Copies of this chain bind each other. A is one copy, B any other.
Amino acid sequence: MSHSRLPHEPDPEPTESLEDLVKDHRLLAAQQWLGTHQPHVIADALARMNAVDAGVAFRLLDKDRALAAFEELEPVNQQQILEGLRDRAFLDLVENMEPDDRVRMLNEAPAKVAKRVLAGLSPNERRMTSALLGYPEGSVGRYMTPEVVALPQNLTVEQALRTVRAKGADAETVYTLPVVDSGRRLTGIVELRELVLNPPDMMMSELVVTEPTSAYATASAERAARLMRETNDLNLPVVDSEDRLVGLFTIDDAVEVIEAADSEDVARQAGAAPWAGHYMAASVWQLARYRALWLMLLLVAATLTIGVTQAFEATLEQVAQLALFIPMLIGAGGNAGAQAATACVRALAVGEVRGSDLLKVIWRECRVGLVLGSLLAALGLLVGSLFVSLKIAVVVGITLVLICGWAATIGGTMPLLAKRLRIDPAVVSAPMVTTLVDATGLIIYFLTAKAVLGV
């Protein structure tokens, strides 16, 4: 059944997977599977398979479903499929893609594939594609659709609808209609809804929103997408530096941009490089590669903790029991720092906090950390006194207050500082804060111990 309805209960597990059918060489059954599932389900199944199997399955699709499923794939997977296709099928596919989807694929394609794609396109499609590729990576220009129905000013509703009818067939959307002057400069937008609901002889100008929210083609696609989330606009008109209309940024692309940005932030917060492919399709080596660099950097940074512990070796030898609490204390500091860092990175991403809020954020995170530290100190005192003398338990308690205050301050400061220095705040990830807090937390711990215990 191609009928797909989101059921009451979560997680309907598929009975037999496309992957198994192809692996078992049951190609007829695979073809039947492909004929009865929706494009996004097919795309998900293809993305989970290795390149060879996915290529086999893809060639079993009829032409229309092939295009639909192909457009749902991530760029990484699209390339894998393309590389396995003969010329005829290859050309059909790339010619019929939407220009913005094509550009997204080319963004991440090796030069060889990109060249083959561009060479195979008809002149009109090639012109549009090259224009989009001219915008910087991550900009609105890369994601917008250039095929827009623009309306001249001074039409009646009926004339406007006639224009839409004449020119709308190729456009990705006709729901937001930019209005332009004779120099193609954006002067407003009108919603198709307004044209349909109002009398034909009404002047369109009465329905035009004259100062619409818009974006320069070079603006950040993520910021534009988050702006659309706030304004609830379906489409954002995109203009060049001379205010001339060049395209529309549509909501489906905005949703994709937001989800990709959130995935990237999530990966960075866990200390891994952002990764665009399908989790199940990545090989063990690929997954390891995306995580290795940060893990090694963090290990090197962690040698600071060795140095600090060595510097206080005398203290540790005198009071061996201090070693018992090292994992717990740096754990607590790390957690408090990660909470603050994550909250601030997220608040920056969704626009609740700006770079200029730095001092305010430092002041609030410092206080939050001290409040949390005091709570933990009470608990730590209790736990500590179960294992060691009250005096050492007091050291643990005081350390918790100081470490949490310090960790939350650092966690709140670093993302905003990064933002001010124009570094992606998410790069200042929770593990980086944690590692920094580990070493400094140990210093706090040993100094407190020396002061309280007089060693």
Given the complex, which residues of B lie within 8 Å of A251, measured CB to CB?
234, 251-252, 255
Q: Does A202 contact B (CB under 8 A)?
A: no
A227, closest chain B residue (CB): B6
Of B224, B313, B435, the contact of A331 (CB 8 Å cutoff): B435
Binds B, one of A56-64, A81-89, A117-125, A369-377: A369-377
Contact A305 B331 (CB under 8 A): yes
Of the residues B258, B320, B325, contact of A255 by C-beta under 8 Å: B258
Q: Which residues of B contact A242 (CB under 8 A)?
A: none
Question: Interface segment, A25-33, A103-111, A282-290?
Answer: A282-290
- A201 in contact (CB, < 8 A): no
Question: Which chain B residue shows the least CB distance to A345?
Answer: B266
Q: Return the chain B residue nearest A279 by Cβ.
A: B347
Query: Quick one: copies of this chain in the complex?
Result: 2
A113 within 8 A of partner (CB): no
Neighbour of A387 across the interface among B229, B306, B341, CB < 8 A: B306
User: How far, in Å, is A348 (CB) from chain B's closest CB?
Assistant: 9
Asked if A196 and B174 make an inter-chain contact with CB atoms under 8 angstroms apart, the answer reads yes
Name the B residues within 8 Å of A254 (CB-CB). Answer: 255
Please tell me if the beta carbons of A285 and B371 are within 8 angstroms of each other in the complex.
Answer: yes
**Taking the complex as formed, is A16 at the interface, i.e. its CB lies under 8 A from any CB of chain B?**
no
Contacts of A132 in B (CB 8 A): none
Interface flags for A48-83 (1: CB within 8 Å of B; 0: not) read 100000000000000000000000100000000000
- Contact assessment for A263 and B169 in the assembled complex, using a CB-CB cutoff below 8 Å: no
Q: Once bound together, how far apart are the Cα atoms of A74 and B44, in whole Å?
A: 34
**Residues of chain A from 356 to 372 with CB closer than 8 A to chain B in the complex:** 356-357, 360, 364, 367-368, 371-372
Is A259 close to B, CB under 8 A? yes
CB-nearest residue of chain B to A282? B364
Do B193 and A174 touch (CB < 8 A)? yes
Contacts of A47 in B (CB 8 A): 352
Looking across the interface, which residue of chain B has its beta carbon closest to that of A72?
B230
The reply to whether A40 and B224 contact each other, CB–CB distance below 8 Å, is no
Cβ contacts under 8 Å, A168 to chain B: 193, 196-197
In whole angstroms, what is the CA distance A232 to B284 when docked? 31
Q: Does A409 contact B (CB under 8 A)?
A: no
Total A residues in contact with B, Cβ cutoff 8 Å: 144
Contact A376 B299 (CB under 8 A): yes
- Contact call B193/A175, Cβ cutoff below 8 A: yes
Q: Min CB distance, A167 to chain B, in Å?
A: 10
Q: List B contacts of A325 (CB < 8 A).
A: 306
Question: Would A218 and B306 count as touching, CB distance under 8 A?
Answer: no
Choose from B6, B48, B193, B367 the contact partner of A219 (Cβ within 8 Å).
B6
A147 on the interface (CB 8 Å rule)? no
Q: How far is the CA of A303 from the CA of B383 in the complex (A)?
A: 7
A211 interface hit (Cβ, 8 Å): yes
Q: Are B364 and A287 in contact (CB under 8 A)?
A: yes
Residue contacts A-B, CB under 8 angstroms, 5 given: A13-B354, A13-B356, A279-B347, A287-B368, A295-B339
A10-B422, A288-B372, A302-B331 are known; give 15 further A-B pairs, CB within 8 A.
Answer: A6-B213, A6-B223, A38-B231, A44-B351, A165-B197, A175-B192, A266-B346, A270-B338, A270-B339, A271-B338, A272-B339, A299-B383, A327-B327, A327-B442, A430-B430
Q: Which 5 pairs between the two chains have the least Cβ-Cβ distance?
A: A270-B342, A6-B215, A279-B347, A305-B327, A40-B230
What is the interface of chain A, defined by CB distance below 8 A to chain B? 1-8, 10-11, 13, 38-40, 43-44, 47-48, 72, 140, 161, 164-165, 168-169, 173-175, 192-193, 196-197, 211, 213-216, 218-220, 223-224, 227-232, 234, 236, 239, 241, 251-252, 254-256, 258-259, 262-263, 265-267, 269-272, 278-280, 284-285, 287-288, 291-292, 294-296, 298-300, 302-303, 305-306, 309-310, 313, 316-317, 320, 323-328, 330-332, 334-336, 338-339, 341-347, 350-357, 360, 364, 367-368, 371-372, 375-376, 379-380, 383, 387, 404, 419, 422, 430-431, 434-435, 438-439, 442
